[in-house]
Structure formats: C-alpha cells, structure tokens
Amino acid sequence: MLAPPEEIGGVIAIACGPSADDLMAALTPAELAVAAAMSPRRAREWALGRSCLRQAVRGLDASFTGDLLINKRGAPHVADELRVSLSHKHDVAVAWAQRANLGPVPRWHLGIDIELLAPPRQPIEARVLTPRERAALPVEPCQRLVALKTIFALKEAAYKAIDPFVGRYVGFAEAEAEMMPDGLWRVTVAAHAEINIAGRVQHLPDHVVATAWAFMSLRVQAPQAIRGTS
C-alpha cells in the first residue's frame, strides 16, 4: 500500500494488470473518445491511468461519476475543487488526489511519479542530474541506481506540481533535489524561487514512487487544515 505524505494527505491509488478490454469498458464516453484517437498501446496506458485516478478520486468522494480528462497542458483534470496527478510506467499506474478547499493556505498543487528500478536503456545521469546531485550519488551500483531513479522521480513529480504555476517545460538542469535530515526532500527551481517544493519517496519492490507538492509561498507549509481534509 502507498500512503500519501502526512503533510498533504489525500488518497493515493495504485493499479496494475487489468486487461485492455476491461480497462476500455470502464471509461466514460468522453474518456473513450480521447482513447479512440490513440494507438492501442497508448490507449491502454490512458485507460489504466484513468482507472487508477478514479480509484483515488473515489477515495475522497465515493459518489464521483465524472469524466477524467486532460487540461491544455496535458495534465489530468477533474474539477476545480480537487487536485490530482497520475503517473504510469508500463503496466503500473499511480494516482494522487486531494481536496483543494484548504481555507487560508497559499495556492498549491501536487505531483506524483513512478519509476522502474531498472537500469535505463541509455545513460541519463548527465541529463537528469545536476553536477552537485551526481557528486552525491553512491558508488555501489545498486545503491547508485536507486538514488538516480529516486531523484529522477522526485523531479518529475515536482514538475507536475509546479506546472499550473509556471505553464512551461522546466528542464532537469533547472531543478535540484536534496534530502533533509527528517527524510523530507526539497526541490528548488532557481528561476521560480517564489515556489516552494517539497517531496517524499516510497519504494516498492521494483519501483520508486515520488510525491511532491508546491506552494506559492516563501516556505513550505504543512498546515493541519490539509491533513484534515482527506
């Protein structure tokens, strides 16, 4: 089981394995229309992602029957009163949902990413990590791979969390991730110092899952109001 970070709360769902026919049958007509324009492989990934996201949203509202479509930036969109994010890697998907009605706290968003703990087909260290991040990687190969994929997932989750604020592609070299003594990760994007990003990581047998949340404030906040809405 995956648990949402205590600072934000909400519901995280994980899905894997259903057949393509079962997944497509579970889509709403609007979702099915989107999938119809995709290749069979991409359509199955889309359907798996929507199935997983629907689990997360129904964890907040069991009566939810709406469409799970995309916004103009390609991110999943449900309703203004929810914050959602999803990620999939081959036959596994993860999704995170939380209520947006948080009272007086600053504007915020969330992101989630899942990465397979297997060597990449092509070297990615120089592309994904900053020189400082590369210098901090362990030497032992297995530990190095886990550290690399952990930072990769954190950055991907962070980009999803800040995208509603910046509305642009953010390159890997623009962001830097650092783990704090308490296990909380901080991700900084120099060009957007007004956005504070924090994250947490969970490891599955073959995957790493990263969650990140971004606030339009000068410091990361973890108010009780957020934890109490899940």
- Tens of pLDDT, residue by residue over 26-48, are 999 999 999 999 999 999 999 99
Q: Which residues contact 75 (CB under 8 A, 6 or more apart)?
A: 85, 160, 163, 164
How confident is the model at residue 228, as a pLDDT?
37
Q: Which residues contact 124 (CB under 8 A, 6 or more apart)?
A: 148, 152
Residue type (1 letter), 13: A
Does residue 172 register a pLDDT over 60? yes
Does residue 229 register a pLDDT over 70? no
pLDDT tens digits, 90-122: 889 999 999 986 555 558 999 999 999 999 888
Which one is predicted more confidently, 103 or 65? Answer: 65
How confident is the model at residue 90, as a pLDDT?
85
How confident is the model at residue 78, as a pLDDT?
87
Does residue 49 register a pLDDT over 80? yes
How confident is the model at residue 27, as a pLDDT?
94
Q: Locate tokens 């790493």: which residue?
A: 208
Measure Cα distances from 158 to 40, 55, 108, 166, 215 in Å: 29, 22, 12, 12, 11
Q: Which two tokens stand for residue 43?
A: 């359509």
Of the chain, the percentage scoring pLDDT greater than 90 comes to 77
The average confidence (pLDDT) of the chain is 89
